[in-house]
Amino acid sequence: MLLESRKPWDGKTGGYFALSRMYAPEGWACLAPMAVRPEWQGGRLAERNPNMAVGGPKDEMYRSPWRFGTRMLQELAAIYEIPLERLPASVPKTIVVLGKPSFYGRYGFSWQRAQKLKSPYPLESTLILRRGDDVPEAELVYPRAFSDL
């Protein structure tokens, strides 16, 4: 593991993600695993707790700040907006995720930029988060723990 992050709430873990080191390319990581407590997915924590009102448009009054997955991905994407000279060397050059482009694309992950990669997994579900707008060409070699997926 390169990094683990959890979002606590009321003595429980509401959300969790890990960045696992890729064997190749060097300096890359994959976002895996990522999880949100099932009973709190999709903003359901806030729906059950009307005291969590934070304002905003009616449809989002209770939900937006309490979506654990959204908050974690927003924080992760914000790292790539920090000036390069202020980042620790341990920040991966690129983060790869396997998932729905319609979901991860909202947080800076790009399906289009991943299409020249060689991967043991379908490129239709492969997205990357990195600085710039290049389309890298590389072979993805995941940690051994992912080989049976």
- The mean predicted confidence, pLDDT, of the chain is 84
For 98-138, what is each residue's pLDDT tens digit?
Answer: 999 999 999 999 999 999 999 999 999 999 999 999 999 99
Q: What is the CATH number assigned to the segment(s) 3-146?
A: 3.40.630.30
3-class SS shares of the chain: helix, strand, coil, % to 5? 35, 30, 40
For 29-42, what is each residue's pLDDT tens digit?
Answer: 999 889 888 877 77
Nearest to 29 by CA among 142, 144, 131: 142
- Give the whole-angstrom CA distance, residue 54 versus residue 61: 6
pTM: 0.82
CB-based contact 126:13 (threshold 8 Å): no
